[in-house]
Amino acid sequence: MRARLVGLLALIALVFGGASPVSAQDRGALTADLDAILASPGMDGSDPGLVVRTADGELVYNHASDRRRQPASNEKLVTSATALDVLGPDYRFSTTVHAAGSRRGAVLHGDLVLRGTGDPTMLAADYDALAAKVADAGLRVVTGRLVADDTWFDDVRQGVSWAWDDEPYYYNAQVSALTVAPDTDYDAGSIIVRVAPGPNGKAVVTTEPPTDYVTVANTAVTGPAGSANTISVDRVHGTNTFTVTGSIPSGGATTSEWMAVWEPTDFAASLFRAALGRHGVQVVGQTTRGAVPAAATVVATRTSMPLRELLVPFLKLSNNLHAEILVKAMGRATSDQGTWTAGLDAVSSKLSAYGINPARVSLRDGSGLSRMDQISPDQLVSLLGAARNRPWFHDWYEALPIAGETDKLVGGTLRSRMRGTPAEGNVHAKTGSLTGVSSLSGYVTTADGQQWVFSMVTNNGLGVTLKNLEDAVAVRLAQEGSTARMVIPSTSPSSAVSELECSWVKAC
């Protein structure tokens, strides 16, 4: 027993110390190295699963890979692949403006209806462009109401078992068929609250986009130059009142927080109404909600980029709202119901084509935020392997985060990881992060030119940066077939363990 323990400790020292070369094509050495990584002291009490296969399905390595676990954002692999199957790579969202009533010259005697189908790429500028089109069509007065039609989806705004304390933050934003993003990361359903040092000891707060839809309760102050930045932004539950507290140092950089709005439909309608006014179109009635009447005529239209392009911000930046919008869009496409239930049924209907028994997974949302999602590394690798034969594979593969690539829309959530290793520019993989959960699944090309698929999903992590261990695995796989010295990141316990995707806190 003692000899076995001494041998294991020596092997761990080999893997993490990088003291010896790895023999080319030595699968026994690869197995021993991966075993040692998973036996790292930082993994004590956790539940890791790891599987590696060649492109043609040959098993290279597995450790408890058949057990289901919470996948976190690795769930987006399932959502994106099935969305490409159900909706197609050329699928586009549309946002339209309709005239419901009779028109006489520049006057519409009736309602103006803004209708959405879930486009997560709509910016304030796009609503302004729609308003300009309405004005260009010659309309100047609407005697009725501005009607916001978000009936393409249901009115269930958040997913099953999403954490209540994450509700104010943009990565937990509400899902609606009418929404708006504050930036070209397309963080739909959110607003950016910016806090800057100001005069007379006060802090100055602005929003992007500028709007009177939200209320800012600002008690933040400007502290002395060089003092600590203690700014905190929150949202009062059930409202659009944002509280800003703390201190920002004089001369310090602006603090920006991405926050979810309450009822994105109304937010989008308020931006559109304001834009109409800027373009000289007066709406006499109030803003309300409803459906487009059958006899209404289209006045203006805006279509999104195709799904093949949306995959980039979606997967690179692990955008939760894109995932949930796609799920509801799949439901609408397959059963005329824009609901999570219908959408997840559409997802499940495609799983068997990827070698996954839909009865053996639990899918409760599209993003992986739900703690009720359950899938195994084996099932994720099955999907990754089968996806290689899909006609859309190249777009999907390139949309995955790429290790060590510094451009945000290339490296994504892997842009700061595995730099200076054989995995840099090589590993294309989806990350996942929740408290106690970390995952990395994707593709790696070995030193001798083989493409392998792998999935590592760990639950019950505590007190260690699990991503370093995932990096260790990916780097070791990238080195297979060479005699290069191993370069493995540190796996020492950390008091600053990330519990969120780095993109969710705008850190990558």
Point out which residues pair with 282 in neighbouring strands.
141
Residue with tokens 């297979």: 480
In a domain, residue 338? The reply is no
Q: Which CATH number do you get for residue 15?
A: 3.40.710.10
Domain assignment present for residue 384? The answer is: yes
Q: Quick check: is 118 in a domain?
A: yes
Structure tokens at 397: 């593969």
Same domain, 298 and 446: no
Show the DSSP H helices in 388-465 as ranges.
Answer: 393-399, 408-411
Report if residue 256 sits inside a domain: yes
Taking alpha carbons only, the member of 40, 20, 27, 32 closest to residue 468 is 40
Specify whether 73 is catalytic. yes
pLDDT, residue 163, reads 93
Q: 459 and 403 in one domain?
A: yes
Which residue, 304, 323, 358, sits at the end of a domain? Answer: 304
Considering the domain architecture, whether residues 282 and 148 belong to the same structural domain is answered as yes
Determine which one of 46, 73, 190, 441 is catalytic: 73
Q: Which H or E run contains 274?
A: helix 264-278
Check: CB of residue 65 under 8 Å from CB of residue 382.
no
**Do 492 and 403 reside in the same domain of the chain?**
yes
pLDDT for the residue numbered 491: 52
Domain boundary among 304, 329, 359: 304
Residues 494, 407 within the same domain: yes
Query: d(Cα 236, Cα 240) in Å, to the nearest integer?
Result: 7
Structure tokens at 123: 């910016």
Instruction: Classify residue 312: in a domain, yes or no.
Output: no
One domain, residues 274 and 144 = yes
- Residue 274 and residue 152 share a domain: yes
What is the model's pLDDT at position 498? 58
If asked whether residues 41 and 106 sit together in one domain, one would say: no
- Per the domain annotation, does 87 fall within a domain? no
CATH number at residue 120: 3.50.80.20
Helix (H) or strand (E) holding 190: strand 190-197
Catalytic member of 270, 318, 382, 441: 318
Residue 438's DSSP bridge partners are 433, 458
318 is catalytic: yes
**169 domain residue, yes or no:** no
pLDDT of residue 17: 41
The structural domain count of the chain equals 3
User: Based on the domain organization, do 389 and 469 belong to the same domain?
Assistant: yes
If asked whether residues 398 and 298 sit together in one domain, one would say: no
Whether residue 224 is found in the same domain as residue 152: no
Tokens of residue 482, six digits: 């060479």
Six-digit token pair at 444? 């790696």
> The tokens of 34 are what?
């991966």
Residue with tokens 């069509």: 137
Can you say how many angstroms the Cα of residue 88 is from the centroid of all Cα atoms in its chain?
20
Question: 46, 76, 367, 455: which one is catalytic?
Answer: 76
Token pair listed for 144: 């009725």
In a domain, 41, yes or no: yes
Q: Which residues have CB under 8 Å from 112's CB, separation 6+? A: 97, 98, 99, 100, 134, 139, 142, 144, 145, 146, 147, 276, 283, 299
Q: Which of 289, 304, 319 is the last residue of a domain?
A: 304
Co-location of 253 and 273 in the same domain: no
Domain that includes residue 67, residue range = 2-78+377-505
> Per-residue confidence of the chain (508 residues) as pLDDT tens digits?
333 333 333 333 333 343 333 333 458 899 999 999 999 887 889 999 999 999 999 999 999 999 999 999 999 999 999 999 999 999 999 999 999 999 999 999 999 999 999 999 999 999 999 999 999 999 999 999 999 999 999 999 999 999 999 999 999 999 999 999 999 999 999 999 999 999 989 999 999 999 999 999 999 999 999 999 999 999 999 999 999 999 999 999 999 999 999 999 999 999 999 999 999 999 999 999 999 999 999 999 999 999 999 999 999 999 999 999 999 999 999 999 999 999 999 999 999 999 999 999 999 999 999 999 999 999 999 999 999 999 999 999 999 999 999 999 999 999 999 999 999 999 999 999 999 999 999 999 999 999 999 999 999 998 678 899 999 999 999 999 887 655 455 555 554 555 789 999 898 8
